[in-house]
Protein backbone atom coordinates (compact mmCIF):
# COMPACT_ATOMS: atom_id res chain seq x y z
CA UNK A 1 0.00 0.00 0.00
CA UNK A 2 0.95 3.57 -0.54
CA UNK A 3 -1.51 5.31 1.71
CA UNK A 4 -2.08 9.03 1.71
CA UNK A 5 -4.41 11.39 3.45
CA UNK A 6 -8.09 11.28 2.67
CA UNK A 7 -9.78 14.40 1.43
CA UNK A 8 -12.97 15.59 3.08
CA UNK A 9 -16.10 14.43 1.29
CA UNK A 10 -17.12 16.76 -1.51
CA UNK A 11 -19.94 19.20 -0.90
CA UNK A 12 -22.88 19.27 -3.32
CA UNK A 13 -22.08 21.34 -6.40
CA UNK A 14 -22.71 25.05 -5.71
CA UNK A 15 -25.19 25.15 -8.60
CA UNK A 16 -27.17 22.02 -7.75
CA UNK A 17 -30.71 22.16 -6.35
CA UNK A 18 -29.46 20.07 -3.43
CA UNK A 19 -26.92 22.78 -2.62
CA UNK A 20 -29.58 25.49 -2.49
CA UNK A 21 -31.95 23.33 -0.48
CA UNK A 22 -29.18 22.53 1.99
CA UNK A 23 -28.19 26.19 2.21
CA UNK A 24 -31.75 27.12 3.22
CA UNK A 25 -32.27 24.31 5.71
CA UNK A 26 -28.83 25.02 7.22
CA UNK A 27 -30.21 28.43 8.32
CA UNK A 28 -32.74 26.64 10.51
CA UNK A 29 -30.26 24.04 11.70
CA UNK A 30 -27.71 26.65 12.92
CA UNK A 31 -25.39 26.31 14.83
CA UNK A 32 -25.29 22.75 13.45
CA UNK A 33 -25.93 21.81 9.84
CA UNK A 34 -28.79 19.91 8.26
CA UNK A 35 -26.43 17.03 7.70
CA UNK A 36 -26.00 16.59 11.49
CA UNK A 37 -29.74 15.95 11.88
CA UNK A 38 -29.90 13.78 8.77
CA UNK A 39 -27.12 11.69 10.27
CA UNK A 40 -29.40 10.81 13.19
CA UNK A 41 -31.85 9.25 10.75
CA UNK A 42 -29.26 7.50 8.60
CA UNK A 43 -25.50 8.03 9.02
CA UNK A 44 -25.00 7.20 5.33
CA UNK A 45 -27.03 10.26 4.29
CA UNK A 46 -24.86 12.80 6.10
CA UNK A 47 -22.73 15.09 3.95
CA UNK A 48 -20.46 16.63 6.60
CA UNK A 49 -18.63 13.32 7.02
CA UNK A 50 -18.41 10.13 5.04
CA UNK A 51 -19.27 6.90 6.78
CA UNK A 52 -19.79 3.30 5.73
CA UNK A 53 -21.90 0.54 7.23
CA UNK A 54 -20.54 -2.97 7.63
CA UNK A 55 -22.81 -5.13 5.47
CA UNK A 56 -21.01 -8.46 5.76
CA UNK A 57 -17.88 -10.07 7.14
CA UNK A 58 -16.26 -13.13 5.66
CA UNK A 59 -13.27 -15.02 7.05
CA UNK A 60 -10.86 -15.72 4.19
CA UNK A 61 -8.29 -17.58 6.30
CA UNK A 62 -7.69 -18.13 10.00
CA UNK A 63 -6.39 -14.55 10.33
CA UNK A 64 -7.73 -12.60 7.34
CA UNK A 65 -11.20 -11.25 6.88
CA UNK A 66 -13.06 -9.51 4.07
CA UNK A 67 -15.38 -6.75 5.22
CA UNK A 68 -18.11 -5.51 2.89
CA UNK A 69 -18.82 -1.81 3.39
CA UNK A 70 -21.69 0.29 2.10
CA UNK A 71 -20.44 3.88 1.90
CA UNK A 72 -22.55 7.03 2.29
CA UNK A 73 -23.79 9.50 -0.26
CA UNK A 74 -20.52 11.27 -0.98
CA UNK A 75 -18.59 8.17 -1.92
CA UNK A 76 -17.05 8.05 -5.36
CA UNK A 77 -15.89 4.97 -7.21
CA UNK A 78 -12.34 3.69 -7.00
CA UNK A 79 -9.83 2.39 -9.49
CA UNK A 80 -8.74 -1.20 -9.04
CA UNK A 81 -5.63 -1.14 -6.85
CA UNK A 82 -6.49 2.00 -4.86
CA UNK A 83 -6.78 2.17 -1.09
CA UNK A 84 -9.04 3.89 1.40
CA UNK A 85 -8.65 5.28 4.91
CA UNK A 86 -10.89 3.68 7.49
CA UNK A 87 -11.56 5.02 10.98
CA UNK A 88 -11.83 2.33 13.62
CA UNK A 89 -13.14 3.10 17.10
CA UNK A 90 -11.64 0.76 19.69
CA UNK A 91 -12.33 1.06 23.41
CA UNK A 92 -13.37 4.68 23.14
CA UNK A 93 -10.42 5.77 21.03
CA UNK A 94 -10.41 6.57 17.37
CA UNK A 95 -7.76 5.02 15.13
CA UNK A 96 -7.22 5.37 11.41
CA UNK A 97 -5.78 2.75 9.12
CA UNK A 98 -5.44 2.45 5.36
CA UNK A 99 -6.55 -0.65 3.48
CA UNK A 100 -6.57 -1.58 -0.16
CA UNK A 101 -9.98 -2.07 -1.71
CA UNK A 102 -10.20 -5.70 -2.74
CA UNK A 103 -13.41 -5.54 -4.78
CA UNK A 104 -13.48 -4.34 -8.39
CA UNK A 105 -14.99 -0.97 -9.36
CA UNK A 106 -17.48 -2.88 -11.52
CA UNK A 107 -19.31 -4.16 -8.43
CA UNK A 108 -22.81 -2.77 -8.87
CA UNK A 109 -24.45 -2.99 -5.43
CA UNK A 110 -22.92 0.26 -4.13
CA UNK A 111 -20.58 -1.62 -1.77
CA UNK A 112 -16.86 -2.21 -1.70
CA UNK A 113 -14.69 -4.62 0.28
CA UNK A 114 -11.48 -4.40 2.23
CA UNK A 115 -9.56 -7.53 3.18
CA UNK A 116 -7.62 -7.26 6.41
CA UNK A 117 -5.03 -9.61 7.87
CA UNK A 118 -4.45 -9.60 11.62
CA UNK A 119 -0.78 -8.73 12.01
CA UNK A 120 1.39 -9.46 15.05
CA UNK A 121 0.88 -6.69 17.60
CA UNK A 122 -1.65 -4.96 15.32
CA UNK A 123 -4.48 -4.07 17.68
CA UNK A 124 -6.62 -2.48 14.96
CA UNK A 125 -6.22 -5.28 12.43
CA UNK A 126 -7.04 -7.76 15.22
CA UNK A 127 -10.12 -5.76 16.13
CA UNK A 128 -11.34 -5.78 12.53
CA UNK A 129 -10.66 -9.48 12.05
CA UNK A 130 -12.08 -10.60 15.41
CA UNK A 131 -14.65 -8.04 16.58
CA UNK A 132 -16.08 -5.95 13.77
CA UNK A 133 -19.69 -6.88 13.14
CA UNK A 134 -22.45 -6.33 10.65
CA UNK A 135 -24.26 -3.05 11.32
CA UNK A 136 -21.21 -1.19 12.65
CA UNK A 137 -20.53 2.24 11.12
CA UNK A 138 -16.99 3.37 10.28
CA UNK A 139 -15.76 6.74 9.03
CA UNK A 140 -14.06 6.31 5.66
CA UNK A 141 -12.09 8.54 3.30
CA UNK A 142 -12.25 8.61 -0.46
CA UNK A 143 -10.28 6.15 -2.60
CA UNK A 144 -6.73 7.24 -3.23
CA UNK A 145 -3.46 6.02 -4.65
CA UNK A 146 -1.74 5.66 -7.99
CA UNK A 147 -1.16 1.91 -7.93
CA UNK A 148 -3.42 0.86 -10.79
CA UNK A 149 -3.22 -0.40 -14.33
CA UNK A 150 -3.11 2.23 -17.08
CA UNK A 151 -6.33 2.72 -19.04
CA UNK A 152 -4.78 3.92 -22.24
CA UNK A 153 -2.29 1.32 -23.28
CA UNK A 154 -2.68 -2.40 -22.67
CA UNK A 155 0.11 -3.97 -20.63
CA UNK A 156 1.24 -7.51 -20.01
CA UNK A 157 1.07 -7.64 -16.21
CA UNK A 158 3.25 -9.66 -13.90
CA UNK A 159 1.78 -9.56 -10.39
CA UNK A 160 4.17 -10.40 -7.58
CA UNK A 161 2.41 -10.45 -4.24
CA UNK A 162 2.80 -11.90 -0.77
CA UNK A 163 0.39 -12.37 2.11
CA UNK A 164 -2.31 -9.70 2.22
CA UNK A 165 -0.37 -7.85 -0.49
CA UNK A 166 -2.58 -9.79 -2.82
CA UNK A 167 -5.50 -7.38 -2.26
CA UNK A 168 -4.69 -4.74 -4.93
CA UNK A 169 -3.82 -7.46 -7.47
CA UNK A 170 -7.11 -9.19 -6.67
CA UNK A 171 -9.05 -6.01 -7.32
CA UNK A 172 -7.21 -5.56 -10.63
CA UNK A 173 -7.77 -9.15 -11.71
CA UNK A 174 -11.45 -9.06 -10.79
CA UNK A 175 -11.81 -5.79 -12.66
CA UNK A 176 -10.05 -7.03 -15.81
CA UNK A 177 -12.23 -10.14 -15.82
CA UNK A 178 -15.41 -8.12 -15.24
CA UNK A 179 -14.45 -5.96 -18.23
CA UNK A 180 -13.61 -9.06 -20.25
CA UNK A 181 -10.22 -7.67 -21.11
CA UNK A 182 -7.89 -9.89 -19.13
CA UNK A 183 -4.52 -9.84 -20.93
CA UNK A 184 -1.91 -12.58 -20.66
CA UNK A 185 -1.10 -12.26 -16.94
CA UNK A 186 1.42 -13.99 -14.73
CA UNK A 187 0.89 -14.00 -10.98
CA UNK A 188 3.53 -15.15 -8.51
CA UNK A 189 2.10 -15.21 -5.01
CA UNK A 190 3.93 -16.06 -1.77
CA UNK A 191 2.29 -17.43 1.36
CA UNK A 192 3.59 -19.48 4.28
CA UNK A 193 1.20 -22.40 3.71
CA UNK A 194 -1.58 -23.35 1.33
CA UNK A 195 -4.18 -22.61 3.99
CA UNK A 196 -2.76 -19.09 4.43
CA UNK A 197 -3.48 -18.02 0.86
CA UNK A 198 -6.00 -15.20 0.97
CA UNK A 199 -8.54 -15.74 -1.86
CA UNK A 200 -6.84 -19.13 -2.42
CA UNK A 201 -9.90 -20.90 -3.81
CA UNK A 202 -10.90 -18.02 -6.06
CA UNK A 203 -7.37 -17.76 -7.47
CA UNK A 204 -7.35 -21.45 -8.30
CA UNK A 205 -10.72 -21.13 -9.98
CA UNK A 206 -9.54 -18.16 -12.02
CA UNK A 207 -6.47 -20.07 -13.13
CA UNK A 208 -8.61 -23.03 -14.16
CA UNK A 209 -11.12 -20.90 -16.02
CA UNK A 210 -8.92 -18.29 -17.73
CA UNK A 211 -6.08 -19.67 -19.78
CA UNK A 212 -4.49 -16.22 -19.95
CA UNK A 213 -4.07 -16.16 -16.17
CA UNK A 214 -0.98 -18.06 -15.03
CA UNK A 215 -0.83 -18.51 -11.27
CA UNK A 216 2.26 -19.69 -9.38
CA UNK A 217 1.75 -19.95 -5.64
CA UNK A 218 4.98 -20.30 -3.71
CA UNK A 219 4.92 -21.58 -0.15
CA UNK A 220 7.62 -20.17 2.05
CA UNK A 221 7.23 -22.81 4.75
CA UNK A 222 6.99 -26.55 4.49
CA UNK A 223 3.31 -27.39 4.13
CA UNK A 224 3.90 -30.97 5.18
CA UNK A 225 5.26 -29.96 8.52
CA UNK A 226 3.07 -31.88 10.91
CA UNK A 227 4.40 -30.08 13.95
CA UNK A 228 2.69 -26.90 12.89
CA UNK A 229 5.83 -24.89 13.51
CA UNK A 230 6.84 -24.88 9.86
CA UNK A 231 10.25 -24.96 8.26
CA UNK A 232 11.61 -22.42 5.91
CA UNK A 233 10.87 -23.62 2.41
CA UNK A 234 12.40 -22.68 -0.90
CA UNK A 235 9.59 -20.46 -1.98
CA UNK A 236 11.16 -17.05 -1.37
CA UNK A 237 11.83 -14.79 -4.32
CA UNK A 238 15.05 -15.25 -6.24
CA UNK A 239 16.09 -14.16 -9.75
CA UNK A 240 16.45 -17.82 -10.73
CA UNK A 241 12.96 -18.59 -9.54
CA UNK A 242 11.52 -15.65 -11.49
CA UNK A 243 13.38 -16.75 -14.62
CA UNK A 244 11.89 -20.23 -14.25
CA UNK A 245 8.32 -19.11 -13.54
CA UNK A 246 8.13 -16.18 -15.92
CA UNK A 247 10.88 -16.26 -18.56
CA UNK A 248 9.48 -13.17 -20.34
CA UNK A 249 9.56 -10.96 -17.21
CA UNK A 250 11.65 -8.39 -19.08
CA UNK A 251 8.67 -7.68 -21.34
CA UNK A 252 6.13 -7.21 -18.57
CA UNK A 253 4.92 -4.39 -16.31
CA UNK A 254 5.35 -5.62 -12.78
CA UNK A 255 2.85 -4.83 -9.99
CA UNK A 256 4.21 -5.85 -6.62
CA UNK A 257 2.81 -5.64 -3.11
CA UNK A 258 4.07 -7.43 -0.03
CA UNK A 259 6.42 -7.16 2.92
CA UNK A 260 9.51 -4.90 2.81
CA UNK A 261 12.02 -7.76 2.31
CA UNK A 262 10.28 -8.96 -0.84
CA UNK A 263 9.93 -5.44 -2.23
CA UNK A 264 13.60 -4.66 -1.51
CA UNK A 265 14.66 -7.85 -3.33
CA UNK A 266 12.47 -6.95 -6.30
CA UNK A 267 13.78 -3.38 -6.46
CA UNK A 268 17.34 -4.58 -6.40
CA UNK A 269 16.72 -7.19 -9.09
CA UNK A 270 14.70 -5.03 -11.48
CA UNK A 271 16.94 -1.99 -11.10
CA UNK A 272 19.98 -4.17 -11.66
CA UNK A 273 18.40 -5.43 -14.86
CA UNK A 274 17.58 -1.89 -16.04
CA UNK A 275 13.84 -2.55 -15.55
CA UNK A 276 13.27 -0.33 -12.53
CA UNK A 277 10.82 1.90 -14.41
CA UNK A 278 8.60 -1.11 -15.09
CA UNK A 279 8.33 -2.14 -11.46
CA UNK A 280 5.31 -0.61 -9.69
CA UNK A 281 5.28 -1.08 -5.95
CA UNK A 282 2.60 -0.67 -3.30
CA UNK A 283 3.89 -0.65 0.28
CA UNK A 284 2.12 -1.59 3.49
CA UNK A 285 4.38 0.47 5.67
CA UNK A 286 7.33 2.84 5.56
CA UNK A 287 10.73 1.40 4.90
CA UNK A 288 12.92 2.06 7.92
CA UNK A 289 16.71 2.32 7.94
CA UNK A 290 18.73 0.34 10.46
CA UNK A 291 18.86 2.22 13.76
CA UNK A 292 22.51 2.70 14.87
CA UNK A 293 23.58 0.23 17.55
CA UNK A 294 24.48 3.05 19.95
CA UNK A 295 21.17 4.88 19.50
CA UNK A 296 19.29 5.65 22.68
CA UNK A 297 15.71 6.57 23.39
CA UNK A 298 14.74 9.00 26.10
CA UNK A 299 12.04 10.73 28.05
CA UNK A 300 9.31 12.06 25.73
CA UNK A 301 7.22 14.92 27.03
CA UNK A 302 3.93 15.65 25.28
CA UNK A 303 3.46 19.28 26.26
CA UNK A 304 -0.24 19.83 25.51
CA UNK A 305 -1.27 16.51 26.97
CA UNK A 306 0.93 17.06 30.02
CA UNK A 307 2.27 13.55 29.75
CA UNK A 308 5.78 12.18 30.03
CA UNK A 309 6.87 8.67 29.10
CA UNK A 310 10.06 6.74 28.53
CA UNK A 311 10.57 5.65 24.91
CA UNK A 312 13.14 3.48 23.16
CA UNK A 313 15.00 4.42 20.00
CA UNK A 314 12.93 2.34 17.58
CA UNK A 315 9.27 2.80 18.54
CA UNK A 316 7.51 5.56 16.64
CA UNK A 317 6.44 8.55 18.71
CA UNK A 318 2.90 8.01 17.46
CA UNK A 319 2.87 4.54 18.99
CA UNK A 320 4.49 5.87 22.15
CA UNK A 321 1.73 8.47 22.47
CA UNK A 322 -1.01 5.90 21.84
CA UNK A 323 0.50 3.52 24.37
CA UNK A 324 0.47 6.39 26.85
CA UNK A 325 -3.30 6.61 26.45
CA UNK A 326 -3.34 9.58 24.07
CA UNK A 327 -5.31 9.79 20.84
CA UNK A 328 -2.99 11.77 18.55
CA UNK A 329 -4.02 12.66 14.99
CA UNK A 330 -2.74 10.27 12.36
CA UNK A 331 -3.57 8.85 8.97
CA UNK A 332 -1.32 6.64 6.87
CA UNK A 333 1.22 5.80 9.60
CA UNK A 334 3.95 5.67 6.98
CA UNK A 335 5.15 9.24 6.48
CA UNK A 336 3.01 10.24 3.53
CA UNK A 337 -0.08 12.13 4.65
CA UNK A 338 1.45 14.46 7.30
CA UNK A 339 -1.67 14.22 9.47
CA UNK A 340 0.56 13.34 12.40
CA UNK A 341 2.81 16.41 12.07
CA UNK A 342 3.72 18.18 15.27
CA UNK A 343 6.44 20.58 16.44
CA UNK A 344 9.64 19.78 18.28
CA UNK A 345 9.81 21.99 21.37
CA UNK A 346 13.14 20.69 22.63
CA UNK A 347 15.50 17.73 22.43
CA UNK A 348 16.13 15.29 19.66
CA UNK A 349 14.22 12.76 17.54
CA UNK A 350 15.30 10.42 14.74
CA UNK A 351 13.61 9.98 11.36
CA UNK A 352 13.45 6.19 11.19
CA UNK A 353 13.33 6.15 7.39
CA UNK A 354 16.79 7.59 6.90
CA UNK A 355 18.31 7.79 10.38
CA UNK A 356 18.54 11.61 10.26
CA UNK A 357 18.45 13.28 13.64
CA UNK A 358 16.11 16.27 14.04
CA UNK A 359 17.15 18.60 16.85
CA UNK A 360 16.12 22.06 15.72
CA UNK A 361 13.56 23.65 18.01
CA UNK A 362 10.45 24.41 15.95
CA UNK A 363 11.13 21.67 13.40
CA UNK A 364 8.21 19.60 12.15
CA UNK A 365 8.13 16.06 13.45
CA UNK A 366 6.09 13.30 11.77
CA UNK A 367 5.32 11.19 14.79
CA UNK A 368 4.55 8.06 12.77
CA UNK A 369 8.07 7.76 11.36
CA UNK A 370 10.17 9.39 14.11
CA UNK A 371 11.46 7.92 17.36
CA UNK A 372 13.08 9.47 20.40
CA UNK A 373 16.82 10.10 20.08
CA UNK A 374 17.32 11.24 23.66
CA UNK A 375 14.95 13.31 25.77
CA UNK A 376 12.55 15.43 23.77
CA UNK A 377 9.43 17.54 24.06
CA UNK A 378 6.67 17.69 21.46
CA UNK A 379 3.81 20.14 20.99
CA UNK A 380 1.25 17.40 21.28
S1 LIG B 1 0.27 9.42 9.82
FE2 LIG B 1 0.56 9.94 7.74
S3 LIG B 1 2.49 10.94 7.80
FE4 LIG B 1 2.23 10.25 9.81
**Between 120 and 359, residue with greater pLDDT:** 359
Q: What is the pLDDT of residue 235?
A: 80
How many Å lie between the centroid of ligand 1 and the Cα of residue 55? 29
Index of the ligand 1 atom closest to the CA of residue 366: 4
Q: Which CATH number does 298-378 carry?
A: 3.10.20.30
Kindly state the average pLDDT of the residues 46-73.
Answer: 92
pLDDT band at 284, cuts 50/70/90? confident
What integer is the mean pLDDT of 81-97? Answer: 89
For residue 376, what are the β-bridge partners? Answer: 300, 347
User: Could you give the angle at the alpha carbon of 160 between the alpha carbons of 182 and 75, nearest 5°?
Assistant: 65
Average pLDDT over residues 205-218: 96
* CA 5 to ligand 1: nearest atom: 2
Reported as type and span, the H/E element at residue 138 is strand 137-139
pLDDT of 258: 94
- How many angstroms separate the alpha carbon of residue 1 from the centre of ligand 1? 13
Where is pLDDT greater, at 118 or 232? Answer: 118
Q: Which of 321, 334, 364, 378 to mutate to test the pocket of ligand 1 (most atoms within 8 A of CB)?
A: 334
Which atom of ligand 1 lies at the shortest distance from residue 368's CA? 4
Mean of pLDDT values over 164-178 = 96
- Has residue 23 got a pLDDT over 80? no
Q: What's the pLDDT score for residue 8?
A: 38
The answer as to CATH 3.40.50.80 being correct for domain 157-283 is yes
Percent of the chain whose predicted confidence (pLDDT) is above 90: 65
Contacts of 376 (CB under 8 A, 6+ apart): 298, 299, 300, 301, 344, 346, 347, 348, 349
* Domain range 17-139, CATH architecture: Beta Barrel (2.40)
Judge contact between 378 and 371, C-beta under 8 A: no
Phi, psi of 236 (to 5 degrees): -65, 155
Q: What predicted TM-score, i.e. pTM, was given to this entire model? A: 0.80
pLDDT tens-digit series, residues 306-360: 999 999 999 999 999 988 888 898 888 888 888 899 999 999 999 999 999 999 9
- What is the number of the ligand 1 atom nearest to the C-alpha of 338? 3
Domain boundaries, the chain: 17-139, 157-283, 298-378
Say what the pLDDT of residue 121 is: 82
Q: If you measure from the C-alpha of residue 235 to the centroid of ligand 1, how many angstroms do you get, rounded to a whole number?
A: 33
Amino acid sequence: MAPASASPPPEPSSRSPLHWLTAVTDLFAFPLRTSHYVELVNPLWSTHKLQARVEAVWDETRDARTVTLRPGLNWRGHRAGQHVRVGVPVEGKHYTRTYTISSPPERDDGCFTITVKAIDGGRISHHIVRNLKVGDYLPVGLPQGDFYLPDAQPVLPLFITAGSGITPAMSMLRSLIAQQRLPDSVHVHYAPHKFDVVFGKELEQLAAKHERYHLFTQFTRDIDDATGTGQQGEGYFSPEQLEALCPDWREREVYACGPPALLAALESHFEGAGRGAHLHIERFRAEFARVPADAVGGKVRFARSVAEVQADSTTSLLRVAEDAGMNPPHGCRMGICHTCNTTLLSGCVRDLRNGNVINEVGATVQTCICAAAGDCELDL
